[in-house]
Structure 1
Amino acid sequence: MSYFHPNRALLNPKFEGYKLSPLDQEQVVSHHALQYKPSQTNVSGRSHVTFQEVQSRISHNHLAVSSQNGRLIYFDEEQRVISVGLDKAALEPSFETLYELPKQVLSPDVASPQREYPSAAFLDTTSLFVSDGHGYLYALQLSDGGPALLQGVYELKIPPAYGSSEGTVPFRVHQAVIVDPQTALVILSAKHYTGGTVSAESNGSTEKHSRHTVEFDIWAARFPLPLPPAQERPLALDVLWHRRGADVPAYTAYDATRQLFKLVGSSAYHSINASPAPSYEPSADELAPIPRAGENVDSSQPPKPPPYSWTQTSDSVTVAIPLPSSTRTEDIKIAFTPRALTMLVRPDPTTETETGPGRPPRFDMRTLWDGIQPSTSMWTWDRAAERRFGILTLHLDKAHEGTRWSQVFAAAPVRASSEASDGADDNGEIPETLDPSELWAIREALEKYTAALRDGQDTSGLGLGNGVPSLAKDEVDDELDANVGRTVCVTWVGAHGSQLPNTQIGDAPIHLLSTPLPGTSPMQPPSLVVKNGLDGVLYSLDEAKGPEDQPTWKHTSTYSALSFVLASKQDARFTHHVSSTAVLAFESGSKDLNGNVYIYRGASPKDKWAKQAIIQVGGRTAGPLLGVAAIRVEDEKIVIACLCEDELVILRDVL
């Protein structure tokens, strides 16, 4: 499983801010009128649109790019597939109609799912997969000039096992990759419709949505290579694997060496065959009785002693369990896994338990509070520790050194009432046994920290000076800063849908600030910019030597105070980065308002200042910004194409 751990050596706590380094608008920006104009109007007023769908439509990139030759694709308002070629010397675009998608006629009397934006993904320089947004996928063969050749039409037929109320649904294309010489995979996403949802939406009812959480399906459609010839009727897509989550993926990528797909969204994407997390039910000991009139519920019986005690250091957890000294070593069965503990002790029926700890506790695959190292964890059994009772000691090596555990086990699992009352298992939270000297050290540290806050001294203890840095002085807005970026999870799926226990589900949610600029993927490994305090930390996926290597994220660079400056860019439609060179925040703009791109350049960890630039791109005569992509031109330079409603804007020499 991958983890995001910042490297303190690459952080810059002394960073002051960004200084404006202006660019000549006339020199770096060129505007080109569109003969075929795109449109972002596709939502039917008869259908209910969820928040996730609205957010996905706002961040939808209407511009598709081939990372191999820089060819651009978009759709105009007449459902035509438009190709944009860029002269890499003069940077002059040329437009050409590749294919005209059939227009779907929808009857107002028939309930139908909400349509999607048309979308496209390049498989290679000559193959393009296009979704019309109504439920059909078109495979097009491209040439250097002239219209595209239709190679096949497909539709997504959903089997009954997936619990959808619709046989076919509109979908969006996210990615198309060649996973082996004979197979290509196309990643699609579609809203999951349950029984009666479409009819409720068409009637304007939101009752269905208030009772059920909206979900989205991720489909991996398989295509043989070379593609078969076109048929007269649409063919059903060959679904290789499926996942389901609570949102449309914000970013997808494929690691060819590890043969893994990376899905980044606001939730993890699970297989529908995966068992749900067990719900918690209180045991009999946790239920407090309700006293009746004249009834005394207080019991004179002394409280039952806990079945174990535990303590911890920075790298280990020690659990001490009292057992009758007559317990034999062969009666103790203990197994460690990275996330769970199994302990089975055969009780001695001849031992009296009234004066001792009672029946030994039983832990059957109990989930631990955090991960451990099974290979270095161990247990010992000391029969003569305390007269009639010995001590069974579990030594657990923490997987994440420095992480302080709140308790030994995670949330208690569901148990039957008979099992809960036999004393063989204990699900209560048992507090850690702390050494008095450790309690004193914690209290002293808290007193020093509160005194430093009161006196305005350096609370970090790193010699960074007094007060707040000038970057944040009189400008800190905790509520605004907390909402910057998107909370996402990273899910890994094998190319052929294999279940990968250690990599299928990603880490705990992270705050995503930026994804790679479309078109730069072959030049750079997959990367993410993640919020870390006020900074944006760039994590790149480590290069793998073979499919068996686990995905590992490495902190490669830091955009200091990026989270702080992006907090004020609430109108940004796209936020992308180009490795450690720059982060670009694109505003949409409108007919009455300019749309700017804010460029924040990378700097070394020792620099107190970094450079920024502002360029007007969308809005006004160009119209709202709809899509962005990077194209590599001569001398390995990168230009940025910005698709607006009325113009194509080219940015040169900005990186």
Structure 2
Amino acid sequence: MSSRSFPHNKAFSNPKFESYKLSRSEFTSTSFAVPGASISQRGVQHGKTPLSVREIQSRIHHDHLAVGYGGWMCWVDETWNIWAMKIGETFEPVFSPVCSLPVPVENDGSQPSEYPSITSVSPTTYLASDGRGRLYPVHVTPSATSLSGTLGPSYELLDPSSRELRPFKVEWVAGDQKILISSAKRTKLDDDKGWSREAGFDIMLVNFDHDDSDEMETDSTSIKELNIMWELHGKDAPIYVSFKSEHFLIGSSEHYSNLHSPSSSSDDTLLGSTDSQPRSEDSQTSFSWTQTSNSITISVPLPQDTPKSHIHISISPKHLTISLNSSSSSMNVFPPLPGFDRRAWWDIVRPDESFWQWEPSEGLLTIELEKTNTQTRWPHLFLPNSTAGVGDMADVEETLSDETRSAIAANLAKFTGPGPSNEELPSELPGGLSSLLRDDMDLDDDEREDGSGEAAGEDGERGGVGKLVKWSFIGGREEKNDVLEATKEEVKVDKLIGAEHVIGSELEWVRTGFRRNDNQGEEILVKYSLDALLFKPPSDFNSPFTHLKTFPALSFVLSSKRETKYILHTPLVDHLSPAKVLAFTSPTTEGAQGDLFIYQEAEGQMTAPSGVFKMGGGEEGALVGVKAVKISGEDVLIGLCEQTIVLLRGVL
């Protein structure tokens, strides 16, 4: 963790903390059937193109429940109907049909679809995406008991070369006519064989010339094209987005760069520093890795004329070092090999049962490792940031077999499309989709204090909770010099140094009034050794994030939760004290019960209250969205399930 971008306030540390204690609380759970069709989105088709692991991750954590104005919440059901709901003073929901989206025409050769979604722009304007590449303004007329609406013209995102529709996801509304979207980017295969399996991700700021007051612009059969203001490319979808003063702060597992001239991006900078600081990085040696329940296999490509006697490998229970002599005629590498200088394993290995072999005919160095903790799936090969300057090497994804990919995609059909429903996902999904199953345990003070001890600094970082996030600061456009692209604009991108494991985001509150809360949803929960730290972003992005709270040992505790769909925390501003973290599990097994685990901040005490409640699963259907609302001074948690609405009172 970069000490300047996410500074840790040790005054919030609680070295005497022992454990979270299950406490009894008076609560009320009420369920109501959703009107119309279910919200499982079985109408979403992926065609013949399989999803990549990162696309699967994004869809698993998608929240179908959108916050509107005046207490309204909205969603799109599996038959493309938009519904609205408001919780009345009697704690019963009022449902209102808004309008219907045109049902997209199926195309097996198309790129995988996103979920249809609805986003509020103003009290009278919403934006609906069909997940296939079309955006519709929705003009709504709110009242105390209904939210009726009509569709405006269709705005399409088209691939510039093929002119085919390009599916996208709305990430942020940056104004009445500006939205930030993300879109998976694939390569069109030859001979009309569809699209490549692996996908990069583009983020785009787009606008649409739509006048909210123009009554003539309410014809949904009218088709226009979204105007791309700027476009950036990366390897993963955004995990965190914040927008202030025409600038975006975007967190993802990879940085974003300008598409057409990657070198035009500014030098990497450190959040909290007003000066750009150049970052020198050695060229990294590429590698791949895969695993079984008992072993790890690493493949490192090297020049074929490398003598075996020039390869030196040191394998210890916690580290790996690969060194090469520099006398080989075809390479200019000095020991140690870049990126492999005493790298810390994500978990412990058995050196006496591990070995390596060199195949000069294939130019491939293979390292076979035996796990100490068998049956444990590693979400990463190395501990993130275990070596300064390694950069992207810390988060190389596991290479998955076709069988594993197919199993994941087939079982994801419960949320994304039709298919078998009686199969189970692998008990541990790759890439950190599912956390480690570990029992909660008491922790010594020196393992928790500041992460500097061996247990906290190495073994303590092994918890599978969270995702390593890198930060891109985006804003201020620069004209391109290329005459052929003179009409295009490039946006300035600062790649911020430092990466953090983001565990969760802020629980979003329903707007009971007609004023937008621009600060809502920006706080994040970050893993710090065994603890979880709550941060809020600066007001101008020129300062570091502010440390608000520490939940002792919580990242370790959360690592024991399997099939976690959402990890959310209650916001500190204008809402609740003490703060709470909510972990929602949503098992993929048909009919299995979902649970809500709640952990309260310790506030300097030796123990802190915790609770567990049923949320979704069974006849209610899987949990697909979570929000909260204040009714008559009482905070109510709202769970949107495939078949029901669940209201939990007395838990917040």
Question: Which interval holds the TM-score relative to the shorter structure?
Answer: 0.5 to 0.7
Following TM superposition, by how much is the alpha carbon of 1:552 offset from its aligned partner in structure 2, in angstroms?
2.4
2:202 aligned to 202, 217, 232, which one?
217
Bigger mean CA offset, 50-59 vs 581-590: 581-590
Partner of 1:554: 546
Where 1:511 maps in the other structure, the secondary structure is strand
> Which residue of the partner structure matches residue 164 of structure 2?
167
Name the counterpart of 1:486: 467
Match for 2:129 among 128, 131, 135?
Answer: 131
Whole-angstrom distance in 1 between the partners of 2:8 and 2:490? 29
1:579 shift after superposition: 2.5
Residue among 180, 192, 215 paired with 2:185: 192
Q: In 2 relative to 1, CA 505–121 (structure 1 residues): closer, same or farther, beyond 3 Å? A: farther
Output the CA distance in 1 between the equivalents of 2:450 and 2:107: 70
Alignment of 1:51-130 (within 5 A): 51-66=53-68, 68-87=69-88, 89-107=89-107, 111-130=109-128
Task: Report SS of the residue matched to 1:148.
Answer: strand
Q: How far did 1:52 drift?
A: 1.1
SS at match of 2:59: helix
Q: 1:113 to 1:16 in 2, by over 3 A?
A: same
CA–CA separation in structure 2 for the residues paired with 1:480 and 1:39: 35
Q: Find the counterpart in structure 1 of residue 14 from structure 2.
A: 12
2:507·2:521 contact (CA, 8 Å) conserved in 1? no
Within 5 A, what are the aligned runs for 1:236-635? 236-255=225-244, 258-275=245-262, 280=283, 478=459, 481-494=462-475, 504-519=494-509, 522=518, 524=520, 526-544=522-540, 550-580=542-572, 581-589=579-587, 591-604=590-603, 606-635=604-633
Count of residues in Structure 1 that have an aligned counterpart in Structure 2: 462
Q: Counterpart of 2:650 in 1: which secondary structure? A: coil
- Residue in 2 aligned with 1:353? none
CA distance in 2: counterparts of 1:504 and 1:54, whole angstroms: 28
Distance 1:134 1:467 in 2: 49
Same amino acid, percent of matched pairs: 27
RMSD over aligned CA atoms reads: 4.2
Provide the rounded CA distance (Å) in 2 between the counterparts of 1:463 and 1:191.
Answer: 39
- Distance in 2, matches of 1:461 and 1:79, equals 49
Letter in 2 for 1:259: E
Cα gap change, 1:617/1:491 in structure 2, threshold over 3 Å: closer, same or farther?
same
**Residues 198/578 of structure 1: CA separation in 2 closer, same or farther (3 Å cut):** farther
* Number of the residue aligned with 1:648: 645
- Counting only pairs closer than 5 Å after superposition, residues 29-44 of structure 1 correspond to structure 2 as 29-36=29-36, 37-41=38-42, 42-44=44-46
- Quote the offset at 1:583 in angstroms: 0.9
Aligned 8 A contact 2:247 2:474 in 1 = yes
Provide the secondary structure at the position in 2 that maps to 1:57: helix
Partner SS state of residue 555, structure 2: helix
Q: TM-score, normalised by structure 2?
A: 0.63
Question: 1: distance between equivalents of 2:448 and 2:29?
Answer: 47
- 1:90: Cα distance to partner? 1.2
What is the letter of the counterpart of residue 594 of structure 1? Q
Tell me by how many angstroms 1:62 deviates. Answer: 1.1
Q: 1:375 maps to what in 2? A: none
Normalised to the residue count of structure 1, the TM-score between the two structures is 0.63
Gaps of 5+ in 2: 264-279, 286-302, 308-325, 328-384, 394-443, 479-488, 511-516, 573-578
Once the two structures are superposed, what CA deviation does each residue of 1:396-429 show, in whole Å capped at 9, x if it has no partner?
A: xxxxxxx99989xxx9xxxxxxxxxxxxxxxxxx
Unaligned runs of 5+ in 1: 203-207, 292-297, 300-402, 412-456
Which residue of structure 1 lines up, in the alignment, with residue 437 of structure 2?
none
2:508–2:520 contact (8 Å) kept in structure 1 = no
Amino acid at match of 1:243: L
Cα 1:404/1:94, change in 2 over 3 Å = closer
Query: Is 1:641–1:649's contact at 8 Å kept on the other side of the alignment?
Result: yes
Alpha-carbon distance in structure 2 between the residues aligned to 1:251 and 1:62: 17
In structure 2, relative to structure 1, the CA distance for the partners of 1:12 and 1:218 (3 Å cut) is same
Taking structure 1 as reference, are residues 608 and 278 closer, same or farther at Cα in structure 2, changes over 3 Å only? Answer: closer
Shift of 1:592: 2.9
User: 2:571 & 2:465 partners in 1: Cα distance?
Assistant: 20
In structure 1, how many angstroms separate the alpha carbons of the residues matched to 2:520 and 2:151? 32
